[in-house]
Amino acid sequence: MAIHEVSSHDLETLKNLGWHLDGNRLVGKYQTAHGSWDGIIKPGNDGWEFYILDCPRQVLIGGHRNCFRSRSNFEGRSVHFVHFHTSCIEPIGGIAAVTKVIEEDVAESPANDVGH
């Protein structure tokens, strides 16, 4: 399977996680117990690139803040690229990793932001 192909089995799993294929990108929500945040996953040079729209403030000041890099706005919303230590070649694992960071940082904050 090529680096940016998604198997039919993975598409079904992604659908159950609230993600769907939109052209050559995946669109969905990073869902946590504290809310959900819109995301976009698109093909990159070395794997999939993960983005979060309107990232919770707790993540931007939390322990993984350097992993969330501001990008240009998208339809009036802030966009952050999620930098992994290594290239992420499969969407399901990347979604789980981003969701875990959001969950940890939002849960640790004394003032939880509610997601969208």
The DSSP output letter for 84 is -
Region 40-56 average pLDDT: 92
pLDDT of residue 99 exceeding 50, the answer is: yes
Region 36-60 average pLDDT: 93
Distance CA 81, CA 50 (A): 6
pLDDT of residue 93 exceeding 80, the answer is: yes
For residue range 54-79, list pLDDT tens digits in order. Answer: 999 999 999 889 999 999 777 788 99
Distance CA 23, CA 8 (A): 15
DSSP 3-state of 47? coil
Distance CA 98, CA 7 (A): 21
pTM: 0.86
pLDDT at 17 (0 to 100): 94
Question: Would you kindly state where each structural domain of the chain is located, as residue ranges?
Answer: 8-88
- What are the φ/ψ torsions at residue 96 (nearest 5 degrees)? -60, -40
